[in-house]
Each structure stands twice: as structure tokens, then as C-alpha cells.
């Protein structure tokens, strides 16, 4: 449905504008051949009310022929043809109204102006509709970006992780109070670091890696010798600016769908380096190909993908591969350094 | 009565706290501790415990699959950190569960409830496969079927399942020329399978659509589906209508 109909206030404002226009047109028609005000108005008001709705049709035509993607000639021909059609309707209706009031000939002098006016009004409506569509598109894009960010923030602290940690701490308080305390400190560290990230658009790769390290240290307490970690991160990437917690879902998946599925556990390998001015990150982990199907699958990765796409467009990609019992996620995106 | 219990959890610390609480509570003897689903099925078979503490996310077999593979009756207490769908399923099936981390008091209540359940002369049968289905997030279909054959556990990935045949209270799962019996109704497994890949073609048959070689007329009113391996399955009239919808007119 056309946005004008979305609420009565916009619809009445729109029709109000046309009423003013109707008055102006009536004044125009009166001049050459002495139509009375009432005669002129009884033609122009119904005419304008009709045309008000005719001028809404570009909404559908413009959506079918978006600027930039539709061919220019096709676009021009279509829009001009519909303008001429609309204008014919406009003049025809004016003549019909005049004829019905037995003042047909008296309208004739005003017809050329009415033709020009009809065409102009319609084309103006086309232009306004394109503007309206552009505004709606950008608003939608903004909503999508915000949604993606919100989902990212929500997934920051995985409840499963949090409660399992608390359970480990609970177990350690009697058997190994020192380790229990260490784990409290580690978990607090991790939570504090992630809590502040909501307002920040970018953080340095150094901070991101630090977060992943803290997270893995916490998980190390849970999984003990089942979790082995190898890190090979090039210092050259440390200052790259990255979307906060873009690495986190990959690490979480490596634990959840990798290490946690294996009785003997396995290795998570994290690599980061600069390749052709882009930051290339690789997370590799062992997994059991015959493990129970993961519950709640793929949300984290989808999130990473959409955040990379909104931030970097085609310049970024996330590639996943499973080979035998090794799973790898590779993420590449431009390395922007902070400007300060 | 001293309860004999088995603890199943892949995390050492999670087993440790349960062990500690249970020792303190007394009246419970821990007869085995398992770190994965396979071990759990084996231990339950050998030890015949009264009570099972069962984690959900584990290597090899998850908690629900373990439940499907063991012989009732015995009391099961699920132990989990967080799983919104599973909790709903537990509530619906009146299965007890502990949320990590839990207190000794909460564990005490669970033990009382387990004792009450075990002393009930007519224990309710718990339909493990239905519980597993209810605990799955909406829209997610079965990816593999687990079957126990004596002490052996078979895992059949859905892609290797040719067809399912109803046999009284059991279903026969046919996969790679072998047949596995499982105690489950055909309607219950039908509801768990992906309707785009499997079709109920007859009261007694569910078929993997990819395995159908052709459909042949049988009697005036019925047809038979010939599978790639040559097996023939009866197709009812409504089954044929369903197949036509899924595979198009040219079958």
C-alpha cells in the first residue's frame, strides 16, 4: 500500500495540498474567459482530487523501475508514457466536467496551461517518489545494521558459557579454593572487557585477541587437558581496527562444536597476519565428524558474516571448511588503522 | 534404601561437584562415572542403576540419545547449564532437572522425587524419543537415528536411511541393506524426519525420496515403489498423492 495511506494525518495533509492547488488552478481558469469562481472551482476541485490519486501511481512504477538498476531508455519511455496517459486523463476529465456544466467552450483558452500543468505535476510526483524510495531504502539499511549489531551484542555472553563457568567455580570452591578465585578473576576480566564494548564501533585487533585469550583461559579451567591452544598472531596486525567481538563467535564455535564434542579433546589454533593490506584470521579446531548434531547451529557465524558485510561490503569474506576431523574458519577483511 | 547412581558429564569439575554433594547427602552410592554418551549406555547396561544424572551436551551421544538407548525404568535427572527448549520439554514430560550451578538443597529435592518415583509400583513409561523431539529447537529435524543392538550402539545418519517400516510397537530402520529394530512408533519418527526428504507412503512405510527408482501400478487402486536397491514398498492412495506433491507429476 502507498505510504500516504499509512495514517489519516498524512493522507489529509496530502489532500490539503491538492485543495490549495485546486484553488490556484481555479484562479488560472477564471482569467481568460470570465468563468465565475463557483464554476471554476466546481471543475478544479473534483479534477484535483482525482489527480491526487493518479499522482500516487508512480509509487508502483518507480519501484518496478529503480534508479540506477533499470535501463535509462526504458525508464524514460515508461515514465513519459505514463505521464502522457495521466495528463490525457486529466484533460479529458476537465473537459467532461466543463461539458456537464454546459461551459465547454469557456474552458478552451485554459487547456494549454492545463496540459503543461498536468504533465509537470505528474513528473514532479515521479521525482518525489524516487526521493521517497531512496529515504525508505536508507532507513531500512540503518535498521538492518542496527539489528545486526544488536544481535551481536546479545550473543556476546553466551548463557551456556556463563552458567558452566559458575558451575566450575562452584565445584572448585571446596576442592581448590585458589583456582576458584583465579577463575572468578578471569571470568570478571572477560565480562568487564565485553561489557564496555556495546558503545564502541571498533576496537584494535590487540584488544580482540586479548579477549579471546581471556575467554580461552576460562574455558581451559572447564575443559582442563582436553583443551589445547596454539596462537600465532603477527604483531603487525595489532593496530588494525576491527568490529568488536568479531572473533569471539569463531572461538566459541571451536569450543562448542569442536573441543566439547571430543572425549580426548583437541587443539584450537588461532592465526592472524597481514596479507595484501588485509587482516587474515584463521581459527582451526579438531572436531568429531560423527558428533551429535549441534543444537542452535550457525547463529554466531551468520552474525559474523552480516557484521562483516555491513562494515566492509565485498572487501570482506568468511570462509568455512571441514576436512576429516579438522574444521577451519577463515576471515579476511581490510585492515584500517586508527586515524588519531 | 541406598540409591545406586551413575553420573554422566564430560566436564571433570561438573562430575566432581555432583560427587561431593552426593557423598555428603549419603544414601546414594555412585556406581560409575562416565564422560560421554557411549560409556553411559554401556555403564547403564552393566550396572543397572536406580538413578542417572545426565548432562545434555556431550561427545559421541547427547543426553537425549542416551535416554533413547537405555532400558527404562529408572529415574533420570538431567543436569544442564542452559537450554530453553530442553527445559520446556522436561517440564512437559515431568522429568526432573538440575540447572548448573545448583545447591545441595535443590539436589536433595531431586533425590526425594527420584525416590518417590522409584517406589511407585507402576512407574510411568517415559517416551524418550518424544522427549528428544520436544527438546529440539522448532524447525530442526532429525539428523541421525541412534539404535541399540544388545550392547552395540549404531548411529544411522539420515542420508543413509533408505526406509522405515512399522512392525507392531517397533520400527525397522533399513540402511545400506541392513535392518535395525527400534522401539518407537512410525508416527513419532515421521514427525521427527524432514518432510522434504521423507514421505509416509503407506500406513507401514516411510521412504527416503532420494531412494525411489520408480513407481509401478500394483492393483487397480494401489501402487508399489521400487527403490534403487530393488526393495518394493506398498504405496497407498493417499501416499501416492503425497508423493506426487513432493516429486511432481512425472513419477
What would the pLDDT profile of B229-250 be if each residue is shown by its tens digit?
A: 999 999 998 899 889 888 876 6
Verify that A43 and A91 share a domain, yes or no.
yes
H/E element holding A324? none
Among candidates A171, A224, A292 on the partner chain, residue whose Cβ is nearest the Cβ of B17: A171
Cis ω for the linkage preceding B101 (within 30 of 0)? yes
pLDDT of residue A333: 93
Name the phi and psi angles at B202, rounded to 5.
Answer: -160, 160
pLDDT of residue A205: 94
Contact at CB, A168 and B83, closer than 8 angstroms: no
Give yes or no for residue A295 having a pLDDT over 60: no
Among candidates A159, A169, A170 on the partner chain, residue whose Cβ is nearest the Cβ of B82: A159
Verify that A168 and A148 share a domain, yes or no.
no
Which pairing describes strands A203-204 and A240-242: parallel, antiparallel, or unpaired? antiparallel
Among candidates A171, A174, A296 on the partner chain, residue whose Cβ is nearest the Cβ of B14: A171
Contact at CB, B13 and A167, closer than 8 angstroms: yes
The Cα-based distances of A329 to A49, A148, A270, B238 in angstroms read 60, 20, 10, 46
pLDDT of residue B121: 65
Name the domain boundary from A136, A152, A168. Answer: A152
Is residue A176 very low, low, confident or very high in pLDDT (cuts 50, 70, 90)? very high
pTM over 0.90: no
Contact at CB, B13 and A171, closer than 8 angstroms: yes
Contact at CB, A168 and B13, closer than 8 angstroms: yes
Contact at CB, B59 and A263, closer than 8 angstroms: yes
Residues in chain A: 340
> Of A15-24, A222-231, B172-181, where does mean pLDDT reach its minimum?
A15-24
Please give the ipTM for the structure prediction.
Answer: 0.81
Chain B positions touching A260 (Cβ under 8 A) are 10, 57, 59
- Which tops the pLDDT comparison, B36 or A144? B36
Verify that A172 and A299 share a domain, yes or no.
yes
Q: Whole-angstrom Cα distance, residue A2 to residue A22? A: 22
Concatenated DSSP letters of B55-116: ESS-SSS-HHHHHHHSPSPSEEEEEES--HHHHHHHHHHT-EEEESS--HHHHHHHHHHHHH
Verify that A133 and A215 share a domain, yes or no.
no
Give yes or no for residue B72 having a pLDDT over 70: no
Name the domain boundary from A134, A152, A170. Answer: A152
Domains present along chain B, CATH in parentheses: 3-134 (3.40.50.2300), 144-247 (2.40.50.1020)
- The structural domain count of chain A equals 2
Contact at CB, B13 and A166, closer than 8 angstroms: no
A32 and A117 Cβ atoms separated by less than 8 Å: no
Q: Strand, helix or coil at A24?
A: helix
- Which tops the pLDDT comparison, B170 or A151? B170
Give yes or no for residue A33 having a pLDDT over 70: no
Name the phi and psi angles at A190, rounded to 5.
Answer: -65, -45
Name the domain boundary from A124, A152, A180. Answer: A152
Chain A positions touching B136 (Cβ under 8 A) are 295
Verify that A178 and A146 share a domain, yes or no.
no
A212 and A251 Cβ atoms separated by less than 8 Å: yes
Verify that A143 and A178 share a domain, yes or no.
no
> What is the distance in angstroms between the Cα of B102 and the nearest Cα belonging to chain A?
8
Query: B63 to chain A: nearest residue by CA?
Result: A292
Give yes or no for residue B84 having a pLDDT over 80: no
The whole-number average pLDDT for the span A98-125 is: 84
Strand partners, B173: B164, B180
CATH code, domain carrying A333 = 3.30.565.10
Q: Whole-angstrom Cα distance, residue A67 to residue A287? A: 49
Q: Strand, helix or coil at B218?
A: coil
Among candidates B16, B81, B136 on the partner chain, residue whose Cβ is nearest the Cβ of A163: B81
Show the cell assigned to B116. Answer: 518417590
Place of cell 542416551: B66
Among B152, B151, B191, residue whose Cα is nearest residue B171: B191
Q: Whole-angstrom Cα distance, residue B146 to residue B172? A: 12
B200 and B208 Cβ atoms separated by less than 8 Å: no
Contact at CB, B14 and A167, closer than 8 angstroms: yes
Give yes or no for residue A68 having a pLDDT over 80: no
Give yes or no for residue A151 having a pLDDT over 90: no
Cis ω for the linkage preceding A312 (within 30 of 0)? no
The whole-number average pLDDT for the span A125-147 is: 84
pLDDT mean across residues, chain B: 88
Which pairing describes strands B152-157 and B163-167: parallel, antiparallel, or unpaired? unpaired
Q: Strand, helix or coil at A246?
A: coil
The whole-number average pLDDT for the span B73-82 is: 84
pLDDT of residue A269: 96
The whole-number average pLDDT for the span B157-177 is: 93
Q: Give percent of chain A above pLDDT 90.
A: 30
Verify that A211 and A314 share a domain, yes or no.
yes
What's the pLDDT tens digit per position in B9-47? 999 999 999 999 999 988 899 999 999 999 999 999 899
> Of A233-247, B80-94, B170-184, where does mean pLDDT reach its minimum?
B80-94
Amino acid at each position: 500500500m502507498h505510504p500516504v495511506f499509512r495514517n489519516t494525518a498524512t493522507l489529509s495533509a496530502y489532500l490539503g495540498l491538492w485543495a490549495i492547488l485546486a484553488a490556484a488552478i481555479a484562479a488560472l481558469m477564471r482569467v481568460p474567459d470570465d468563468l465565475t469562481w463557483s464554476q471554476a472551482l466546481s471543475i478544479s476541485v473534483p479534477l484535483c482530487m482525482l489527480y491526487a490519486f493518479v499522482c500516487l501511481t508512480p509509487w508502483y512504477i518507480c519501484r518496478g523501475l529503480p534508479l540506477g538498476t533499470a535501463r535509462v531508455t526504458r525508464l524514460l519511455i515508461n515514465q513519459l508514457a505514463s505521464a502522457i496517459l495521466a495528463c490525457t486523463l486529466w484533460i479529458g476529465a476537465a473537459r467532461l466536467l466543463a461539458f456537464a456544466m454546459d461551459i465547454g467552450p469557456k474552458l478552451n483558452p485554459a487547456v494549454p496551461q492545463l496540459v503543461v500543468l498536468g504533465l509537470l505535476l505528474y513528473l514532479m510526483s515521479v521525482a518525489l517518489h524516487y526521493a521517497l524510495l531512496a529515504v525508505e531504502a536508507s532507513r531500512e539499511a540503518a535498521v538492518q545494521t542496527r539489528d545486526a549489531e544488536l544481535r551481536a551484542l546479545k550473543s556476546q555472553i553466551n548463557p551456556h558459557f556463563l552458567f558452566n563457568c559458575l558451575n566450575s567455580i562452584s565445584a572448585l570452591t571446596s576442592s581448590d579454593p585458589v583456582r576458584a578465585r583465579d577463575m572468578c578473576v578471569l571470568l570478571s576480566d572477560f565480562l568487564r572487557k565485553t561489557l564496555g564494548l556495546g558503545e564502541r564501533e571498533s576496537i584494535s585487533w590487540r584488544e580482540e585477541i586479548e579477549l579471546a585469550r581471556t575467554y580461552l583461559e576460562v574455558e581451559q579451567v572447564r575443559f582442563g587437558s582436553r583443551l589445547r591452544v596454539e596462537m600465532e598472531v603477527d604483531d603487525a596486525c595489532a593496530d588494525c581496527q576491527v568490529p568488536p567481538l568479531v572473533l569471539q563467535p569463531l572461538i566459541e564455535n571451536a569450543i562448542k562444536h569442536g573441543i566439547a564434542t571430543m572425549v580426548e579433546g583437541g587443539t584450537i589454533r588461532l592465526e592472524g597476519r597481514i596479507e595484501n593490506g588485509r587482516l587474515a584470521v584463521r581459527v582451526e579446531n579438531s572436531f568429531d565428524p560423527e558428533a551429535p548434531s549441534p543444537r542452535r547451529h550457525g547463529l554466531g557465524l551468520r552474525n559474523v558474516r552480516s557484521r562483516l558485510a555491513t562494515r566492509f561490503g565485498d572487501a570482506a569474506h568468511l570462509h568455512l571448511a571441514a576436512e576429516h576431523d579438522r574444521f577451519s574458519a577463515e576471515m579476511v577483511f581490510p585492515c584500517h588503522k586508527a586515524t588519531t | 534404601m541406598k540409591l545406586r547412581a551413575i553420573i554422566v558429564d564430560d566436564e571433570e569439575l561438573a562430575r566432581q561437584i555432583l560427587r561431593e554433594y552426593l557423598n555428603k547427602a549419603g544414601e546414594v552410592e555412585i556406581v560409575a562415572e562416565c564422560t560421554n554418551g557411549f560409556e553411559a549406555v554401556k555403564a547403564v547396561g552393566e550396572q543397572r542403576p536406580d538413578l542417572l544424572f545426565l548432562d545434555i551436551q556431550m561427545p559421541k551421544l547427547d543426553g537425549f540419545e542416551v535416554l533413547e538407548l537405555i532400558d527404562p525404568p529408572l529415574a533420570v535427572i538431567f543436569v544442564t547449564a542452559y537450554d530453553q527448549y530442553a527445559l520446556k520439554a522436561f517440564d512437559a514430560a515431568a522429568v526432573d532437572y538440575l540447572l548448573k550451578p545448583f545447591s545441595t538443597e535443590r539436589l536433595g529435592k531431586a533425590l526425594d522425587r527420584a525416590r518417590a518415583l522409584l517406589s511407585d509400583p507402576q512407574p510411568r513409561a517415559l517416551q524418550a524419543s518424544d522427549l528428544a523431539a520436544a527438546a529440539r529447537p522448532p524447525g530442526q529435524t532429525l539428523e541421525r537415528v541412534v539404535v541399540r543392538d544388545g550392547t552395540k550402539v549404531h548411529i544411522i545418519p539420515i542420508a543413509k536411511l533408505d526406509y522405515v517400516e512399522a512392525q507392531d510397537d517397533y520400527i525397522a530402520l533399513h540402511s545400506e541393506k541392513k535392518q535395525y529394530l527400534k522401539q518407537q512408533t512410525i508416527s513419532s519418527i515421521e514427525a521427527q524426519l524432514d518432510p522434504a526428504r521423507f514421505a509416509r507412503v503407506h500406513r507401514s512405510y516411510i521412504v527416503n525420496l532420494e531412494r525411489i527408482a520408480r513407481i509401478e501400478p500394483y492393483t487397480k487402486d494401489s501402487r508399489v515403489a521400487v527403490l534403487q536397491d530393488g526393495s518394493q514398498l506398498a504405496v497407498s492412495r493417499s501416499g501416492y498423492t503425497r508423493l506426487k506433491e513432493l516429486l511432481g507429476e512425472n513419477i
